[in-house]
Amino acid sequence: MPHSHPAPSPAAEQGSPGVNPLLDGRDLRLPRIADPCVLVMFGITGDLARHKLLPAIYDLANRGLLSPSFSLVGVGRRHWGDDDMRHYVEQAARSGARTPWRPAIWEQLAAGMRFVEFDSFEDNAAYEALARVVAELDESRGTLGNRAFYLSIPPGWFPAVTERIARSGLMDDAEGSWRRVVIEKPFGHDRASARELDELVGRIVRPDDVFRVDHYLGKETVQNILALRFANTMFEPLWNQRYVDHVQITMAEDIGIGTRAGYYDTIGSARDVIQNHLLQLLALTAMEEPTSMAAEAVRAEKEKVLAAVVLERDGVLDLDLTTARGRYGSGFQGGLPVRGYLEEKGVAPDSRTETYAALRLEIANRRWAGVPFYLRAGKRLARRVTEVAVVFKQPPFLPFTSAATAGLGANTIVLRIQPDEGITLRLASKVPGTQMELRDVSMDFGYGASFNEESPEAYERLILDALLGDAPLFPHQREVDLSWRILDPVIEHWAASGAPQDYRPGSWGPTGAHELLARDGRSWRRS
Ligand code: BG6
């Protein structure tokens, strides 16, 4: 998305209230700075915090987007003092941050860090201690009673934690200050449990103060889907069933489940990434134009399209024909031996969890009737790539010899979400020479070549937006609910259908997924 460079807002000018004097006037294009506040992080010792959240907080501070008063309270089951936590956060930030190390910024951030030891999430006394620490920070750091609770913990703990946070008075309304809750997926296990979870969170916080993180929405390339579609003239007239043959949405990873068996084996690929990331990509690709980029307007369009998704193929529901799942076996990847899923540490020997899932969906509305949307996601595939490919129909007539067009594919727009972020347009071109011979060529837009600035990490954007109270990049509960509506029947069907099919590590997934497209006379890209 081309970034315009707005004039510096008055608040961002050096010397204005809230601007960090340690920035020495760097980054004067900053749009908004988060209010002074305390961020209480449950799950600070977890992988997500270490690899993503803590480096993102440092990067935000370094970019001048946090108030100098910003304070971070870690909650965990370690015998740690504040300095132990500082040391841990420093390690995480030094190894994971995107921006250079600046000792003065770090010192300022570290001065606002506190650790509260919990014996367990049911430890009532610890919540009282937490309330005292937060009150002390309001006094000593000027955090003005603003607080956000980041729950990066298994949702099974949500009831115990939310109830006690509420009882400690930490969420009580206070004139002129805000309270927010940020939650990480999984948002439930199915539609019913997602509703229960929402009800639970709703007991302690107003719906508008809940920020559900789907980190894909924080990615620049994902936000760019709306820019491509609604800031240009060229694409939207073609973006419908008259011209589009089908859409393929791929999230392929070349890694296995690593050390996450405890989480993954109870979840599987469909719940892990299709329920959220891939259905959000579908919604952004297929939705109508919103009246503005305000949260309510964008969400309303995403909801409409999710509500129109059907699992039927030409009106007939047969999930054996329209879904596929697989599980990586043992073998080699990148020349190295790798364990099969069932041999991964922590995976139940009789596990039936899928590490690959593919679905064929249709959207029952005027724009998309009859256009299949194929979604696939998997681990230990041939390479890491996330993309949305909009494949167009063949021209109704070709005034060339069949020999000239023998090598032609279909016009395709590929939104390259990651890596190698950008957009590719596949189109037909004449091969230089004396004869009319046609071949597919690519026109590429790459972020690296078009912009000087590096894209922020998704979590920088999302943490900042949560602290600013900006909701557009956070899915609403209604979207979560509609996504489970799509997935519940698939997961129930799989639960009653035995084990997933094995696939070779480094391949493009199980044969069932290839058959799924072959039935429609199509094939997956790159396979
Ligand atoms: C997470 C999933 O949401 O996304 C992981 O739980 C997956 O299983 C990860 O590996 C991939 O994120 P990214 O940003 O690297 O595509």
CA distance 74 to 405: 62
Beta strands in 13-171 (DSSP E): 38-42, 71-76, 113-117, 147-151
Q: What's the pLDDT score for residue 173?
A: 85
Mean per-residue pLDDT pooled into runs of 10, the chain (527 residues): 40 47 53 91 95 98 96 96 98 97 97 96 95 97 96 88 92 92 92 94 91 96 96 97 98 95 94 97 98 95 98 95 98 95 96 98 98 98 97 96 93 96 96 94 93 92 96 96 98 96 97 98 89
Q: How far apart are alpha carbons 316 and 22 in whole angstroms? A: 63
Strand 356-363 with 373-378, pairing: antiparallel
Burial of 332 (0-12, 13-18, 19+ CB in 10 A): exposed
Which residue of the set 189, 215, 246, 277 is catalytic? 277
Q: Where does ligand 1 bind, in terms of residues with CB under 6 Å?
A: 215, 253, 272-273, 386
User: How far is residue 115's CA from residue 120's CA, in Å, rounded to a whole number?
Assistant: 14
pLDDT of residue 5: 42
Alpha carbon distance 8, 265 (integer Å):
48
Model-level pTM greater than 0.85? yes
Establish whether 476 is a catalytic residue.
no
Distance, CA of 285 to CA of 132 (rounded, Å): 47
Cα separation of 310 and 319, whole Å?
A: 11
**Residue 306 one-letter amino acid:** L
- Cβ count near 109 (within 10 Å): 24
Residue nearest to atom 10 of ligand 1 (CA): 253
Q: With contact defined as beta carbons under 8 Å apart, do 275 and 483 qualify?
A: yes
Which residues, other chains included, contact 130 with Cβ-Cβ below 8 Å and sequence gap of 6+? 40, 73, 75, 116, 168, 170
The pLDDT value recorded for residue 7 is 40
Give the number of other Cβ atoms within 10 Å of residue 207's Cβ.
11
- In the Cβ-directed half-sphere of 260, how many Cα atoms lie within 13 Å? 17
d(CA 95, CA 78): 21
Distance, CA 354 to ligand 1 centroid (Å)? 15
The residue whose CB lies within 8 Å of the most ligand 1 atoms, and thus the one to mutate among 273, 341, 457, is 273
Up-side HSE of residue 463: CA atoms within 13 Å toward CB? Answer: 29
To test the ligand 1 pocket, which listed residue (47, 212, 215, 267) has its Cβ within 8 A of the most ligand atoms?
215
Do residues 513 and 504 touch, judged by C-beta distance below 8 A?
A: no
To test the pocket of ligand 1, the residue of 272, 279, 356, 379 to mutate (highest count of ligand atoms within 8 Å of its CB) is 272
* CA atoms in the 13 A half-sphere facing the CB of 199: 6
Give residue 145's pLDDT.
Answer: 95
Hunting for tokens 């971070």 — which residue is that? 72
The contacts of residue 473 (CB under 8 Å, 6+ apart) are 217, 218, 223, 461, 462, 465
Compute the distance between CA of residue 526 and CA of residue 391 in angstroms, rounded to an integer. Answer: 14
Q: How does strand 147-151 pair with strand 356-363?
A: unpaired
Kindly state the helix (H) or strand (E) to which residue 168 belongs, with its residue range: none
Taking residue 413's Cβ as centre, other Cβ atoms within 10 Å add up to 22
Span from the CA of 74 to the centroid of ligand 1 (angstroms) = 24
Residue 454 has a pLDDT of 87
State in Å: Cα 26 to ligand 1 middle: 32
What pLDDT does residue 21 have? 61
Listing DSSP states for 385-419 in one string gives EEEEEEEEPPPS---S-TTTTTT----EEEEEEES
